[in-house]
Structure 1
Amino acid sequence: MKFGLKSVLLACLFTLPAILPVCAPAAYADEPVRLSEDIKLQVNDKLVQFPDAQPFVDENHKLQVPARVVADKLGYQVNWEPAGSEIKVTIKDNKNTLSLQTGNKSVTVNGQHEKIESAAELVDGRVYVPVRLISDSFDIQTQWDNQNRIAILGADGSYHAPAWYRPSPAVQTASQAPAPAYSKMIEVKATAYTASPGENGGYGGVDYMGNSLSLGTIAVDPSVIPLGSKVLIKGYSYMGLPANGLYATATDIGGAIKGNRIDIFLPENRAQAKLFGMQNVQVYVLNP
């Protein structure tokens, strides 16, 4: 992740949605990578009902939502037009305009061109849009309730309690996988970092071992968690990470990562990664 020995080694080697019906054949649509189950969306104090298509988390761990339903719930206007096998979409209110095309990571917000990590998707004739793109484009306050798996859009500028509460853990035991075999469990404080060179001793995009940074890379104090260790991290609260724990590999170090500390790489920009803050988590060092 960061400084010191990393530079020496490198010198030697080296996440609105609603349903947008279209006439495009289903063959044009790629099946999404559904990494989550039963994620819900709330606008202000009301849960959004999706009649026949549900939000999902894509391969970049971004929450994608079916677009027309959410836009309607927010009171936004939606226009669309076919673009070959894809769909061009414009979402606007009385102040902001978002233009995008499914399958394309280039978007336009109020006339300014931007690049996003996850493109909107066309799935079974429906357009899905990253919920973060909507909230950022329209200056909507966003909350993530990890316990109840609800993304809450505060379009009115206020914070809101969840409109739905997940059943107690005792009811969910059938869906919980048994814990993997591990050699030890460590309580640590976790922070998050990105591929920004400023967070990596000038070496943006690579870890201490010379590997490309990716979700599942963590920085550790090797005297506590040996480099190369496979681990399972639990106990965090962050929408961009898997709900039931993150499998990761300790391949990075950091000048500030000493003792019971870890730094989790997030494929986000620095502003978003800062939302992770500092959290108490459990690290299970898995058996080889």
Structure 2
Amino acid sequence: MLKKKFVQSSMLLLASVLLLCSLIPTASAASMNAAPREVKLEWNGTRLPQNGLLIEGSTMIPVVLLRDSIGVTLRYEPTVKTYTLLQNDDQIDMIMGTDSINIRLNNHQWKGPNAQVINGRMYIPFTVLRDGFGYQSAWNASQVKLNFAKKGIFLEE
């Protein structure tokens, strides 16, 4: 009788472990495919007309927002499928590949997250703007808001 109880307990434990293990990949896949979260954007404390997106821990900024609201120069060269952002002497190139968008900062390969096209709009990680143009930021997690500005400007969260 003790042996039968041991076998039943072992089977129950094994079934529980298998069930738990089968749920782990599903949860990981669901979180990876989760819809991007909208991020309110501010330039030097002034609310911008478009939102960014929070994707896999990176705040993504719409490229046209930089052109239209902040005054960054945006060019497109169709022969090499490259978008270029220019500010002062700094340059960020976004090269359209077949399955990704590679980034260069002042002619050096960017090692961070790539740009993405989402719903027909190009988004660039804020970290590229920080490293390429020297922008600084203040993140407000409770409001899901990023306030960014040129270096040297005092920012409040």
Deviation of 1:81 after TM superposition, in Å, equals: 3.7
CA contact (8 A) 2:101 2:116 kept: no
Residue 141 of structure 1 aligns with which residue?
136
Deviation of 1:142 after TM superposition, in Å, equals: 1.5
TM-score (norm 1): 0.38
TM-score (norm 2): 0.66
Higher helix content, 1 or 2: 2
1:127 to 122, 128, 136: 122
Distance in 1 (alpha carbons) for counterparts of 2:68 and 2:85? 10
**Structural mapping, 1:59-138, within 5 Å:** 60-82=56-78, 87-102=81-96, 104=100, 106-116=102-112, 118-138=113-133
Q: 1:83 to 1:124 in 2, by over 3 A?
A: farther
Residue 19 of structure 2 aligns with which residue?
none
Helix, strand or coil at the partner of 1:68: helix
Per-residue CA shift, 1:103-122, capped at 9, x if unaligned? Answer: 53642211222322x21111
CA contact (8 A) 2:138 2:156 kept: no
Q: Can you give the 5+ residue segments of structure 1 that lack an aligned partner in the other structure?
A: 1-31, 163-288
Distance in 2 (alpha carbons) for counterparts of 1:128 and 1:153? 16
Give the number of equivalent residue pairs. Answer: 123
Helix, strand or coil at the partner of 2:110: strand
CA contact (8 A) 2:94 2:102 kept: yes
Higher strand content, 1 or 2: 2
Q: 1:72 to 1:90 in 2, by over 3 A?
A: same
Residue 40 of structure 2 aligns with which residue?
40
